[in-house]
Amino acid sequence: MTAQRRVVAEVLDGEHVHLTADEVHSRAVDKLPEISRATVYNTLGELVSLGEVLEVATDKRAKRYDPNAHRPHHHLVCAQCGAIRDVHPTGNPLADLPDSERFGFAVSEVEVTYRGTCPNCAAA
Amino acid sequence: MTAQRRVVAEVLDGEHVHLTADEVHSRAVDKLPEISRATVYNTLGELVSLGEVLEVATDKRAKRYDPNAHRPHHHLVCAQCGAIRDVHPTGNPLADLPDSERFGFAVSEVEVTYRGTCPNCAAA
DNA sequence: AGCTTGATTTAGACATTGTCTACTCTAGGG
DNA sequence: CCCTAGAGTAGACAATGTCTAAATCAAGCT
């Protein structure tokens, strides 16, 4: 555990939002000016492998990193401004996929993304 | 409807798979060598606006284009090789999101992505 | 303390994907 | 035949992510 990794972890802990790698980097630089982009990417990659952080691929260009990896949840995305909220739907989508629709895959995860318009964008 | 647009439409129709923009471009070039990348992107964008084609954001870097836009469906992705299959789960995930979890959003769509290992990768 | 070894970090080049701009081409109206 | 508007083109540019070579650091050994 080096200073750089601690800073990346702190950035993600402090804000429990959904940051892009670049945003993580900017905030890390505020705390440790000499940290490099490559290190941020490396560290994020390690955190993902360790299961501490989730990669979220909404349809935006950049992946986002979600530190709330231990509590399973899904996402609600504003189609206009890209705002993301964590949501906890009822039901178990894994159970909704019959064997006949699995094509021999060993299915291990489901990711559900709801899309819509957030109150802010609806008002504007 | 120009020659270029017809070619893009043909590429997507012929293969009802999930191509990246670059793959669409390569195949379009086979049929019409002078077609440019920009035109492919423009045409794909128009098809998406028209609702003829869906953009699919699995976690891979590139967006994929799914011509099967009229029959609602979701996707099953191999975490190793990236293979994609269309699937039709039972149940309605929209109904599984209670009002208390909508944060004032007007929710209009759900996208469900199952992840796992395909038979090919499991064998290897 | 000084050395060695290996992992970590860095800077920057590179790759991929997508967007934008300025120019060219073509078809149709006058 | 010329003009115009839209479509297409080439290539520059931008954003995101990956890789490499060199510098740095930490830890153990003598």
What are the strands of the beta sheet with A19-20, ordered from one edge? A19-20, A64-66, A54-56
Tokens linked to B36: 């440019």
Candidates B91, B103, B122; nearest CB to A91? B91
Residues of B in contact with A113 (CB under 8 A): 110-113
Could you report the per-residue pLDDT of A29-86, keeping only the tens digit for each? Answer: 999 888 999 999 999 999 998 888 988 887 778 899 998 878 888 999 998 888 899 9
Phi, psi dihedrals of residue A49, rounded to the nearest 5°? -60, -40
Residue B117 has pLDDT above 70, yes or no: yes
Tell me the nearest-neighbour CA distance from A73 into chain B, angstroms: 11
B38 touches strand D (CB under 7 A): yes
Give the pairing of strands B84-87 and B74-78.
antiparallel
Q: Domains (ranges, CATH) in chain B?
A: 3-66 (1.10.10.10), 74-123 (3.30.1490.190)
B21 touches strand C (CB under 7 A): yes
Q: What is the mean pLDDT of residues A85-91?
A: 91
Residues A82 and A72 sit within 8 Å (Cβ to Cβ): no
Could you report the per-residue pLDDT of B2-60, keeping only the tens digit for each? Answer: 888 899 988 988 767 789 999 999 999 999 888 999 999 999 999 988 888 888 887 77
The pLDDT value given to residue B15 = 66
